[in-house]
């Protein structure tokens, strides 16, 4: 979903500790949040709709330790016809319940406010009613925090009470935007086992206007805002970071299982919970800093293997140039995986050479490789492995990249990035079944198949 065009300045302004208000049912040793990532439907969204939404969203960019974490449930958007994952968030005093897209590819946390009439007319569900919250506090336009959000064109700031609110206009790469007032508000997270944890003074956007496919199209169905988890100063990961060790992790579980298991977002890393994955079972790769795009979690790809055979792809294909173009991004808000064209062509060619199953008859697809698995209960499909910087190898199961697009039809769910300045993106389908830990203090990404079965 992500890819904000605004790059925050004055990063140090965000490094503060949020007041902890309450943790109902939480023991004295509570030091992490576990939030459900909600995925309610066991079946994936329509692949054509998913591809269309992902392509529109990305096209503009591509032309251009224990005791130290928090865990939240995450819901899949499949029930709403989208490949996104949602976090249930309660905002205000008294709390109002909203669903936000969990997005590592953007920074701003924002909710649709009641002033956004067009948002309500689109049927995206409820909006946040600021007039019913006693804790809603718009930031003044002279507040130092206001400098962390991009202002609207021709915005002016006056010291008078009238017109003094901090206004923002946050853009995404495909031209989508949200605009409104930047504010502080009390926020309550419904954590695991029915517990609730509340924080004061979370900074978020109250959106009066939202336009463009990223925030109004099919991929946004069922959402009332975005939970930005990027590396910038206004993301939730940064705002809650100091309290929870500047780490967060998530486990996106297999959407094909029924009943669908609950996925989780943990603010605080992957080790705080008893029995969770530890460093000895975790593989690590550096998170690469890209000054041109400081929001994103860049990782380095060194080699691609198919059935343990290394493909002849030049390392320069994966490199980031001096202008910040290229590289590879891990993004929870994009469903499919997009690879720069030279690598994509090599990979698809090798898959076609190795796959011995018949092509579907009279079947039209947006994917370049589809096979008919009728009568083959356990089809043999090639294993894709990605060697990352630092020597770790990411080997997802074949179900993460061969998508069921129709009865007895599987398609290789990779897409090309044709621009020479484009970035590759590892989407959320490819990430399923792994714990991913984003460790910002140590600038590293950890991943493991262990621990993703935790309830």
**Model confidence over 59-91: pLDDT tens digits?**
333 333 333 344 455 544 433 334 577 888 889
Residue tagged active-site, from 54, 143, 174, 331: 331
Please determine, for residue 56, whether its predicted confidence score (pLDDT) is greater than 90. no
CA-based nearest residue to 451, from 28, 44, 24, 69:
69
Q: 54 an active-site residue?
A: no
User: Do 198 and 188 form a contact (C-beta atoms < 8 A)?
Assistant: yes
The beta-strand segments (E) located in 212-260 are 225-228, 247-251
Mean pLDDT across the chain = 78
Percent of the chain's residues with pLDDT above 90: 41
User: Residue 278's pLDDT is what?
Assistant: 62
Residue 428, token pair as written in the block: 């959320």
Distance of CA 419 to CAs 45, 84, 338, 414, Å?
27, 25, 12, 16
User: Do 297 and 330 form a contact (C-beta atoms < 8 A)?
Assistant: yes
Q: What DSSP assignment string belongs to 21-39? A: EEEET--TT---EEEEEE-
Distance separating alpha carbons of residues 343 and 317, to the nearest angstrom: 7
User: Residue 335's pLDDT is what?
Assistant: 82
pLDDT for 233-244, tens place per residue? Answer: 999 999 988 788
pLDDT-derived band at 122 (thresholds 50, 70, 90) equals low
Residue 136, token pair as written in the block: 């809603």
Which helix (H) or strand (E) covers residue 431, if one does? helix 428-431
Please determine, for residue 402, whether its predicted confidence score (pLDDT) is greater than 50. yes
The stretches of 151-285 forming alpha helices (DSSP H) are 213-216, 236-239
User: Residue 334's pLDDT is what?
Assistant: 81
Domains and CATH numbers, the chain: 11-267 (2.40.70.10), 279-448 (2.40.70.10)
Residue tagged active-site, from 54, 103, 143, 439: 103
Q: 331 an active-site residue?
A: yes
Distance separating alpha carbons of residues 210 and 205, to the nearest angstrom: 12
The stretches of 34-115 forming alpha helices (DSSP H) are 47-63
Percent of the chain's residues with pLDDT above 70: 72
pLDDT-derived band at 163 (thresholds 50, 70, 90) equals low
207 burial (CB, 10 Å; 0-12 / 13-18 / 19+) is buried
User: Residue 262's pLDDT is what?
Assistant: 76
Which helix (H) or strand (E) covers residue 411, if one does? strand 409-412
pLDDT for 244-258, tens place per residue? Answer: 888 898 888 876 666
Residue 357, token pair as written in the block: 């199953």
β-bridge partners, 426: 330
């Amino acid at each position: 979903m992500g890819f904000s065009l605004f790059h925050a300045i004055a990063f140090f302004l965000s490094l503060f500790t949020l007041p902890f208000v309450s943790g109902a049912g939480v023991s004295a040793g509570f030091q992490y949040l576990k939030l459900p990532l909600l995925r309610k439907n066991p079946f994936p969204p329509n692949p054509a709709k998913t591809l269309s939404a992902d392509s529109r969203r990305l096209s503009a960019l591509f032309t251009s330790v224990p005791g130290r974490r928090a865990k939240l449930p995450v819901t899949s958007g499949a029930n709403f016809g989208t490949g996104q994952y949602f976090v249930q968030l309660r905002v205000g005093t008294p709390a109002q319940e909203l669903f936000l897209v969990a997005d590592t590819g953007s920074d701003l946390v924002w909710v649709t406010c009641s002033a956004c009439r067009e948002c309500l007319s689109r049927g995206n569900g409820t909006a946040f009613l600021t007039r019913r919250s006693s804790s809603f506090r718009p930031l003044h336009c002279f507040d130092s925090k206001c400098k962390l959000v991009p202002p609207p064109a021709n915005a002016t700031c006056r010291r008078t009470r009238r017109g003094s609110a901090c206004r923002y206009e946050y853009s995404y790469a495909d031209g989508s935007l949200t605009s409104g007032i930047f504010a502080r508000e009390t926020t309550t997270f419904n954590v695991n086992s029915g517990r609730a944890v509340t924080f004061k003074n979370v900074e978020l956007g109250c959106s009066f206007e939202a336009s463009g496919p990223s925030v109004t199209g099919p991929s946004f169905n069922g959402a009332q805002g975005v939970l930005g988890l990027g590396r910038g100063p206004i993301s939730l990961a940064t705002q809650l970071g100091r309290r929870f060790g500047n780490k967060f992790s998530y486990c996106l579980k297999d959407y094909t299982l029924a009943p669908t298991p609950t996925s989780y977002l943990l603010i605080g890393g992957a080790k705080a919970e008893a029995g969770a994955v530890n460093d000895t079972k975790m593989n690590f790769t550096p998170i690469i800093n890209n000054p041109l795009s400081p929001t994103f979690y860049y990782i380095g790809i060194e080699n691609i293997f198919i059935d343990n055979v290394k493909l002849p792809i030049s390392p320069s294909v994966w490199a980031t140039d001096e202008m910040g173009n290229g590289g590879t991004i891990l993004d929870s808000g994009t469903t499919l995986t997009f690879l720069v064209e030279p690598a994509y062509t090599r990979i698809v060619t090798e898959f076609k050479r190795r796959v011995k199953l018949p092509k579907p008859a009279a079947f039209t697809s947006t994917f370049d490789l589809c096979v008919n698995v009728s009568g083959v209960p356990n089809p043999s499909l090639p294993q894709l492995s990605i060697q990352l910087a630092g020597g770790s190898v990411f080997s997802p199961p074949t179900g993460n990249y061969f998508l069921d697009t129709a009865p007895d039809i599987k398609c290789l769910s990779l897409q090309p990035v044709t621009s020479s300045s484009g970035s590759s993106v590892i989407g959320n389908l490819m990430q399923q079944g792994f714990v991913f830990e984003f460790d910002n203090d140590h600038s590293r990404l950890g991943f493991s198949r262990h621990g993703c079965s935790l309830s």
